[in-house]
Structures are given as structure tokens and as C-alpha cells.
Amino acid sequence: MTEGSGRNGLSLLNPPGLYDPAPNGYSHVALLPPGARLAFIAGQGGETADGWLSALFCEQVRQALKNLCTAIEAAGGTQQQIAKLTVLIVDHSEARLQVFGEELVHALGRGPKPACTLIPVPRLALDGMLFEVEAVVLLDEV
């Protein structure tokens, strides 16, 4: 079993008998300690602070992950404390999965990745929006 442990007792696990998800940017299991304090980060799209949205998928992914990190930091957490991601991709393809994986490494580093569910969707909230990501984050105790 491959395992990674982060701050606050967050353990990311890939049990024997399941394929290695690391190349696709996630872990099968995120185990939180008893009494964990969590932050739930709403879906972040690729809009800049002034509302601009690129038409390019790769730029939307990069900006959405940047927005996610900004929200996590505002909650008092770090990228290494992400327990679970939910990713929504319009017109999902293997090529878009590869872009997401590359941008995730850029945003979170090369270590173990959080548990993740990717959901292909036909459309998101705004016209032109191609990517959205939300997170559950394990925070430090108060």
C-alpha cells in the first residue's frame, strides 16, 4: 500500500488490490483523524478576480486551481491539507484529463494527491466555463 501523511494526521492511501491512481492525480482514500476540523471550499472556476474567463481549457484549469488555493489559504489551510477534490469537466477527454493532471502537479507539487472524483458534465454555471473544482480541507485545530 502506498501512503502519504500530511499535516494534522491526514493520510492518503492507495490499498493493494486497486490500481495506482498517481498518474491520474489522486489517491483512493483520504483518512482523517477523529475530531478533524474541516473546510468545505465551493466550486472554483477559471475566472480571474475581475471576472475574466479564458476560452482555453488549460488556462481555466490553472486559474481555478489558483482560486482554490486562495480560498484554502483564506480558510487557514494549505494545499497539502486537501483531503478530497471534486472536479467537473465539460466535454471530458483523455487530453483534458492529462491537462488537469499536469496543472494539479504544478499547483500541489509531486507528492501524494488527495482523493478525487472527476465528473464529466455537459455544461457548468457560466457560458464558456469548462472546468470547476471543489475541495474538502483538513484544517489545523483551533
For the four alpha carbons of 99, 102, 108 and 113, in that order, the dihedral sign comes to positive
Determine the average pLDDT of the residues in 60-72. Answer: 97
User: How many Å apart are CA 125 and CA 45, to the nearest integer?
Assistant: 9
Which residues have a Cβ under 8 Å from the Cβ of 1 and sit 6 or more positions away? 13, 14, 15, 16
pLDDT interval class at 23 (50, 70, 90)? confident
Give the pLDDT score at 10: 86
What is the domain partition of the chain in residue ranges? 2-139
pLDDT at 128 over 90: yes
pTM of the model: 0.86
CATH fit for domain 2-139, picks 3.40.640.10, 3.50.40.10, 3.30.1330.40, 3.30.70.260: 3.30.1330.40
Which residues have a Cβ under 8 Å from the Cβ of 124 and sit 6 or more positions away? 45, 88, 90, 130, 131, 132
User: How many Å apart are CA 138 and CA 37, to the nearest integer?
Assistant: 6
